[in-house]
Each structure stands twice: as structure tokens, then as C-alpha cells.
Amino acid sequence: MTLYYRVEGRVQGVAFRYYTSIEAKKLGITGSVRNLSDGSVEIYASSNRETLSRFENFLKEGPGHSVVEKIERSAADVNRIFKDFLILS
């Protein structure tokens, strides 16, 4: 299962992508994370439902100095298979 997340708040310039990548790799999640031009962060995450639920709990809290104000989640319509978790620019 692959989910798409869009995280809003103070999530750029606070190492949000870096710590999200670390958490995803720790949980065995594959996918990607990148900053969007509107100041939000976009995440594709692939794993089983239980693991993605744990990952979403991490996203709600956010790492370190981040402030998560809103998370949108939807089923991802992707045709590619992720082999790792990547930080994209």
C-alpha cells in the first residue's frame, strides 16, 4: 500500500525531510519526501497498514523544531515501485 501525505506548517528549514527519512528507514518504509514551493512537504510512503499508521503518528508530531499544522492523506496513484526512501529536492 502506498499513501500520499502533504504536511503543512513549519516544516521547511527545520530538517523535517531528513528526520522523516530516518523514521521511514527505521520502520522499513520506502518512498520519498520533498519540499513543495508553497512551503509544505510531500511524502509518498509504501508499507503495510500498521507500519504506515505508526509513520503517520510520527508525522503528526513532527521532528525537532517543526510545527505540523495540517496533514492531508490519500491513497497514492503511483506506478513506480520504491526500493528505498529518498529525499528529493
Give the C-alpha distances (Å, rounded to integers) separating 58 from 21, 46, 64, 69, 84. 11, 15, 11, 13, 19
Whether 35 is catalytic is yes
Q: Which residues fall within 8 angstroms of residue 71, CB to CB, at 6 or more apart? A: 5, 6, 7, 8, 56, 59, 60
- Rounded Cα distance between 51 and 9, Å, is 24
Residue in 6, 10, 35, 73 annotated catalytic: 35
Whether 80 is catalytic is no
Residue in 6, 17, 79, 80 annotated catalytic: 17
Residue 25: which H helix or E strand, with range? helix 16-27
Catalytic residues, by residue number, are 17, 35
